[in-house]
Amino acid sequence: MRTYTPLTYDCNDNCISCPVPRKKERKNPSLKEIYIEIDKIKKYSEHIELNGGEPTLNKDLLKILNYIKNKNFKETSLLSNCQTFYNENNVKKILKVPNLKIITTLYGHNKNLQDSITRNPGSFERKIKGIENLIKYKIPIELRILLQKKNYNEINEIIKFTNQYKLNKIIILNPKLTACALKNIEYVGEKISIISKKLSYAIKLSNNKNIELYHFPHCILPHELWQYSKGQTSIKGEICFIEECNGCSKQKVCSGIWCSYLNKFGKDEFKKI
């Protein structure tokens, strides 16, 4: 069951690898609809994730966070590109939200790489300043490095860049190939068995001890990286297991494969363990 709810489909970035349909293809949820979703999630989860689009663009964000505060979730995650927090005053506004964590995605260690994926000049500078402001006020940050065709060769530099920040967790993942990511497949899509070859050295470079891998099935990972796999992190329907997975000794702890990935790259990479 899903534990996230979008607050808006508006976004101030235009990422080539965005898996969410653009706003013109979807109507933004009303405040009432958002409250209904929050109540629904509270019935079966102590954790809620607010996402989008860019959730901080919802003009009622503070009202929504206040509503959530009264629901006593054990953890509230805000999946944001952090550009709103470029302005320190916006960080101060969320300080009173209990158990709040910011999740943010990084594509590159410099403006050329990051902005070429967000297609939004200045996004790197605003994001990094936003992250620095959040760290200044001790708001926990989970940084997600989304590896795709344009940036996976730069993973070592990206990890070295992150070493200067006190981040609660780093997650390395690959994209769901839907919406923009699918439209831009020639710039986004890469075989995950190729990407995974870059991961061992990159993880060794990190000074963060809290690293996880999402959406890299065990059979395409070097053995020493199995310990980093988070297992399944997406709902059924988005994640698939193929016939070859039957009888695999790692199926219970495996992430599964993005169904959207199988549609594009097929199933030849995956062999039972």
Separation of alpha carbons 181 and 204, rounded Å: 29
For the CB of residue 182, give the shortest distance to ligand SF4 in the complex, in Å.
21
Binds ligand SF4 by CB under 6 A, chosen from 15, 219, 239, 259: 219
Distances (CA, A) of 48 to 5, 56, 69, 220, 240: 8, 15, 11, 31, 24
Total of residues contacting ligand SF4 (CB under 6 A): 15
Structure tokens at 257: 């494969």
Q: Is 247 exposed, middle or buried (0-12, 13-18, 19+ CB in 10 A)?
A: exposed
Near ligand SF4 by CB under 6 A, which window of 18-26, 109-117, 126-134, 246-254?
246-254
182 vs 178: CA distance, rounded Å: 5
Site residues for ligand SF4, 250-269, by CB under 6 A, read 250-251, 254, 257
54 closest CA partner among 123, 1, 135: 123
213 near ligand SF4, judged by CB under 6 A: no
Establish if 245 lies at the interface with ligand SF4 (CB under 6 A).
Answer: yes
Q: Should residue 226 be labelled a site residue for ligand SF4 when binding is judged by CB under 6 A?
A: no
Told to check if 244 binds ligand SF4 by CB under 6 A, we report yes
Is-contact 148 189, C-beta < 8 A?
A: yes
How far apart CA 97 and CA 36 sit, in angstroms, is 20
Per-residue mark of binding to ligand SF4, 163-202 (x: CB under 6 A): ----------------------------------------
> Min. distance of Cβ 250 from ligand SF4 in angstroms?
4
Residues that bind ligand SF4 (CB under 6 A): 217-219, 241, 244-245, 248, 250-251, 254, 257, 270-273
